[in-house]
Amino acid sequence: MGWNPLSWFRKPEPPKKKKICCACPETKRARDECTATYGPEDPKCAPLIEAHKVCLRKEGFNKERLAQFVGITGADSGLAQRCLEAAGWSVEAGIEIFYSSGMHMQASRGGSSRLDRAAISRLFEQYRDKDMEEEVVGVEGIQALCEDLGVQPDDIVVLVLSWHFGAEAMCEYSRKEFEEGMAALACDSIDKLKAKLPGLRQELQDASKFRQIYQYAYMFSREKGKKLVELDVALAMWDLLLPPSRWQHIEAWKEFMRTHHKRPVSRDTWNQLLEFVLTTAPDFSNYDDSGAWPYLIDEFVEEMRKQQDGQQRC
């Protein structure tokens, strides 16, 4: 083949960019071996961790990831760098650290003046139900919001979000709830709200916040104008809030309620069930029959003990 003059005008193909997981394999291996053996806080590992960071900086990972992190979270560059360094420069892991450690509260206090409230208002208009006289985000709007956030409407993180919004009714956000909730979360875009989701999920692991969210769920689950929560709604909420990983007897409780109660659930039963779950041994050995428990819980324990006695005889 002869020489092609057009080859002079062809732009060279850019080199393929390394992924952060594949960059600096030697320093990464040394760092990982040390931290796995002695722990990341051990002084022996400090120079190896720093050497890996230096190598990553040379590979050009920092600036791009800093910009991405700041754009999503609104954090300043110093806070962003701290989170990313703690996460080995993984943006996704850094965002989780940002919210789970409470750093987002520091960022929101420092960056509240940069919040674009007009953008929040435009978001509300994007999702609001145009067919209703009231200014609300209705069922279709919440479904669209969940789709944009990449979650299902029955994902528990939507309940946590509604708690932050102070929503008074299921499947509905008023303008005030939506706009003030977004501002309180320091979010003026869907990307920022989406980045908050790992932190919102983490709040469920905080005992105090979980209790607040659990108690809020009762009010949130009531139909407008009703004082009690319908049984089928309460069962669905218990499924969400008290999965088997939190309470091993949840399926037995739901079956008991279906067969023995068959009517709406009172606030007292709702709240006392959580106290029961948190304080009673799995085998009910410490359950005080003379305690001030709702009659439904007394009857549930009696039924479970009968089942346990029957199993022991077999």
Cα–Cα separations (whole angstroms), residue 16 to 8, 12, 13, 19, 311: 21, 12, 9, 9, 64
220 contacts 226 by C-beta, under 8 angstroms: no
- The response to whether 22 counts as a known ligand-binding position is yes
Helix (H, G, I), strand (E, B) or coil at 169: strand
- The response to whether 45 counts as a known ligand-binding position is no
Rounded Cα–Cα distance for residues 89 and 82 (Å):
10
* Residue 215 burial class via C-beta count within 10 angstroms: exposed 0-12, middle 13-18, buried 19 and up: middle
19-39 b/e with 16+ CB inside 10 Å = b? Answer: ebeebbeebbebbeebbeeee
Token pair of 112, please?
A: 């509240």
Measure CA of the first residue to CA of the last residue in the chain; give whole Å.
88
Token pair of 188, please?
A: 């003026």
CB atoms within 10 A of CB 187: 23
Q: Alpha helix locations (H) across 190-294?
A: 190-202, 207-221, 231-241, 250-260, 267-279
Binding residues, by number, are 21-22
Binding residues for Cu cation, by number, are 21-22
